[in-house]
Structure 1
Amino acid sequence: MSLLAWLRWSEAPPRLSARSPAEMVLETLMMELAGQMREAERQQRERSHTERKICTGVDYSWLASAPRPSYDLSPGERLQLEDVCSKIHPSYCGPAILRFRQLLAEQEPEVQEVARLFRAVLQEVLERMKQEEETHKLTRQWSLRPRGGLASFKTRARIAPFASDIRTISEDVERDAPPPPRTWSLPEFRAPKTD
């Protein structure tokens, strides 16, 4: 092996940095769909295999070769799903995958139903994105609206933590002056004077 191969091994592939976040979300969601479809097909095969074994009492699984996938998305359906996936914001990608997995675990669908569930989850995420965007617009408009009272007070008020006109107890101790009556936090308790 040449030294040049070892040097290239430590470099990151240039393709990773060239992809946009939208492309990465699209690829991640479509890979999740493909993986869940394979898993649903495997579970469906296992269920049919166990049913066949119970009915016949004979196990012929050692004779079978690795089965080819029996269900695949049509090109039109794939393009529609990719179009919806491209609209998903990167911050919603993880929650969409978690919701999809949750629905699959609850329903245990057949392979043909996995794409329908995936589309439903994507539509749900898009609706949530739209609602949150509208809420954000409303709160932004509300905060930009001129108002009296507290909002106008906040713009005028300035906090200066090191202002010299604020008296502290330590200043009184340093000057050896008798402390002023306590008015800051606690009342001053004095013993009654006796004559």
Structure 2
Amino acid sequence: MFLSSLFDWSEHCLALTPRTEEELVTNTLTLELGLQLKRAEKIHRERTAECKRLKQGVDYSWLMAQPKVDYRIPPGEQLELQELCSKIKPSQCGPLILRFRKLIREFESDLSEIPRIFRLTLLDFIEQEEEEEAQRILRRQADSKRGNSLSALTLRTRLKINPFCQDSIKESGTGLLAARRVRSMPEFNIRE
């Protein structure tokens, strides 16, 4: 039931022409969750059939229809997952899906654990992004302070290098020529 409502919701999103990045990411991630839930249902059915076959010694599973496992994510949790999905940036979508798949394979998750793993993966990515953003802000602040201090340092050094700039212009009489020379390199007068 949940999967059909999930796919209906994703088809509804696809039918809308002007889609935002948030909608595209949410759609992609909820489709991935739905596919992983379907995969887990199939694995669960296969394991159940294998256990029955091993107990009975004979395989009559082809005679009877396979019972469907009807797992539903509660609506509140579904909305929470969609809201978390909307906070993920498009550039993080691929790495998030890969990490989610890896976690599911590592833990051989049951149906009920998959939404929880998905939620934890989303929260981990959101927290990681917030930490990276805080580090970027701190770097920008440090760079701007360093830039301000460097500009003040260069201003001070210019004043120290050419302390007699005005005097050399007045004494030389050529004015502009002396001013150009003073800016490029200080004039050294050796007096004996």
Q: Give the alignment's TM-score, normalised by structure 1.
A: 0.66
The answer to whether structure 1 residue 39 and structure 2 residue 22 are counterparts is no
Partner of 1:54: 54
Please tell me whether the aligned partners of residues 103 and 117 of structure 1 are also in contact (alpha carbons under 8 angstroms). yes
Per the TM alignment, residue 69 of structure 1 is displaced from its structure 2 partner at its CA by: 4.3
Deviation of 1:63 after TM superposition, in Å, equals 2.0
Aligned to 1:147: 149
Residues 33-86 of structure 1: CA deviation (Å, up to 9, x unaligned): 010011011111111111110011121221233544411211111001111111
**TM-score, normalised by the number of residues in structure 2:** 0.67
User: Letter of the aligned partner of 1:147 in structure 2?
Assistant: S
Letter in 1 for 2:88: I
Question: Partner of 1:83 in structure 2?
Answer: 83
Q: Tell me the residue number matched to 1:116.
A: 116
CA distance in 1, matches of 2:154, 2:43: 64
Where structure 1 has 5 or more consecutive residues not aligned to the other structure, the ranges are: 1-13, 157-195
Instruction: Please tell me whether residue 26 in structure 1 is matched to residue 26 in structure 2.
Output: yes
- Gap runs ≥5 in structure 2: 1-13, 159-192
Q: Using the alignment, how far apart are the partners of 2:30 and 2:140 within structure 1?
A: 34
Superposed CA RMSD = 2.4
Kindly state the Cα deviation for residue 144 of structure 1 after the two structures are TM-superposed: 1.6
1:179-190 aligned at under 5 Å gives the runs none
- Cα distance change, pair 40–138 in 1 and its aligned pair in 2 (3 A): same
- 1:119 offset after TM fit, Å? 0.5
1:9 aligned residue = none
Matches within 5 A, 1:117-136: 117-136=117-136
The number of residue pairs the alignment matches comes to 141
Cα deviations by residue, 1:66-121 (Å, 9 ceiling, x for unpaired):
54441121111100111111111111111110100000110111101000100110
Query: Quick one: distance in 1 between partners of 2:154 and 2:93?
Result: 40
Go from structure 1 to structure 2 and tell me whether the alpha carbon gap of 1:70 and 1:15 turns closer, same or farther (over 3 Å shift): closer
- For the 8 Å contact 2:45–2:66, the answer to whether it is kept is no
> RCO greater where, 1 or 2, for CA within 8 Å and sep 6 or more?
1
Q: Hey, what does 1:94 align to over in structure 2?
A: 94
Deviation string, structure 1 residues 159-179 (Cα, Å, up to 9, x no partner): xxxxxxxxxxxxxxxxxxxxx
- What's the counterpart of residue 168 of structure 2? none
Distance 1:121 1:32 in 2: 13
Q: Secondary structure at the match of 1:132?
A: helix
Letter in 2 for 1:121: T
Q: 1:147 to 1:16 in 2, by over 3 A?
A: farther
Counting aligned pairs with the same residue, the percent is 41
Q: Once the two structures are superposed, what CA deviation does each residue of 1:122-152 show, in whole Å capped at 9, x if it has no partner?
A: 0110111001101111111111221227x95
Letter in 2 for 1:119: R
